Amino acid sequence: MNVTQSQRTGRGERDSNAKVITLKELTRILDLSPTTISLVLNRARGAKSIPKETKDRIFEAVRKYNYRPNFLARSLRVRRTFSVGVLVPELSDGYSAQVLAGIEQRLLDAGYLCLVTTHHHRPELLEDRPLLLYERCVDGIIAVDTPVRGQPPTPVVSVSGHHRVPGVLNIELDHGQAARLALEHLLRLGHREIAVIQGQAFSSDTEVRWESIQKTAAELGVEIPPERVVQLEGDSPLPDTGYEAAKRLLARGASFTALFSFNDISAFGAIRALREAGLRVPEDVSVVGFDDIWEASYHIPPLTTIRQPLEEMGRLAASMLLERIQGPRNGEDGGVVLVQPELVVRASTAPAPDKGDAGRQ
């Protein structure tokens, strides 16, 4: 017995030979507005207020009538691709992942596709990846901890970029306040011998964060001599960079009772190095991280850290980019949006020990 195409197509399945209807026809069939149908099909936040019965009707009609949004026609009509490129150093570290979570959430609500690419701070990829996104006609780009070179041909918003480029909006943390929160917390606990782990040379936050720490320390009357400062080396996103940096710091024999690390990941590695050296955290050495990534509260001990509102920064970057995509551009619409940090006190900091040789064997 021969089975026809119509017999093979069961309930709920699309017939590939069926006529594809338009959005206008679908709105007439359902007696709903195009906006309502688009909100539901894009799973936008605005669809939450639409009754479940209406949503079910829409999805059933889409299956029954083989509706497929005409993306090309829509793009040509409004001269947009409804896609945004996102440049990040890598996807495996908590910082990028949390910023990206905020970006994706906002773009999803707006019906935009998010195209993410990584560069690992390699010069050739920093040059190549933006070009690939431009070639794919993205409506704009969000650069996360990524330098923007030259005036871009599309709207660009930078997260932690710190470089002033005409037409590029920068979303930045108030690093001066971040340094003050961390140092004042340690001072209240009685710490005067404070060591610092700086970020890698390629990180966009390294210079501004270190300058802020130095300035704030001077204002608070705290000396941070060179022997108590060490820099992360290598491009690994794992705690091993902090582990090696702390080992180099301990090898110098410098006395310190507190350590302010560049980020939470490096703080995790530093804590292991301190423990291997026979030092307890926080009884002998208090440790403060930076970022408040998801893992910080589950580390042993839970990490005291400076919280960057990473997801909020991602959502803000996406919102500002969408405004620029939808509005006129004059090539000089850059500027800075400053966000505020927060001190999160957990179990990795405690009052300074009384013994004078804390921080070394």
Pick from 180, 145, 138, 110: nearest CA to 313 = 145
Q: Residue 202 is which amino acid?
A: F
Is-above-0.85 flag for pTM?
A: no
Cα separations in angstroms, 133 against 114, 127, 144 = 11, 11, 15
Show the DSSP H helices in 252-354 as ranges: 264-276, 310-326
User: Is the distance from CB of 201 to CB of 231 less than 8 angstroms?
Assistant: yes
Which amino acid, residue 333? D
Q: Is the dihedral of CA 133, 137, 141, 147 positive or negative?
A: positive
CATH number among 1.10.260, 1.20.1070, 1.10.10, 1.10.3720, domain 5-69: 1.10.260
Q: Write down the pLDDT at residue 20.
A: 66
Model confidence pLDDT, tens digit, residues 63-77: 888 877 655 555 545
DSSP 239: T
Token pair for 274: 């301190």
Q: Please give the pLDDT value at position 78.
A: 52
What tokens were used for 132?
């690939």
Contact, 276 vs 305, CB < 8 A?
no
> E strand or H helix at 117, and its extent?
strand 113-118
User: Alpha-carbon distance 267 to 261, whole Å?
Assistant: 5
Domain positions in the chain:
5-69, 80-172+310-339, 175-309
pLDDT recorded at residue 173: 96
Nearest-angstrom CA–CA distance, 41 and 26: 12
Cβ contact 342:291 at 8 Å:
no
Strand partners, 305: 289, 344
CATH topology of domain 175-309: Rossmann fold (3.40.50)
Find out whether 214 and 246 touch, Cβ atoms under 8 Å: no
The answer to whether domain 80-172+310-339 and domain 175-309 are alike in fold is: yes
pLDDT for the residue numbered 339: 96
Q: Give residues with Cβ within 8 angstroms of 188, minimum separation 6.
A: none
Per-residue pLDDT of the chain (361 residues; tens, 9 = 90+): 343 333 333 334 444 445 667 888 888 999 998 888 878 877 776 788 899 999 899 889 888 888 776 555 555 455 678 899 999 998 877 899 999 999 999 998 888 989 999 998 899 999 999 999 988 889 999 999 999 887 888 999 999 987 788 889 999 999 999 999 999 999 999 999 999 999 999 888 999 999 999 999 999 999 999 999 999 999 888 999 999 999 999 999 999 999 999 999 999 999 999 999 999 999 999 999 999 999 999 999 999 999 999 999 999 999 999 999 987 655 456 789 999 999 999 999 999 998 544 444 3
CATH number for the domain formed by residue range(s) 80-172+310-339: 3.40.50.2300
Question: CA-CA distances (angstroms) from residue 188 to 139, 192, 213, 323, 355?
Answer: 49, 10, 17, 43, 18
320-332 pLDDT, tens digit each: 999 999 876 554 5
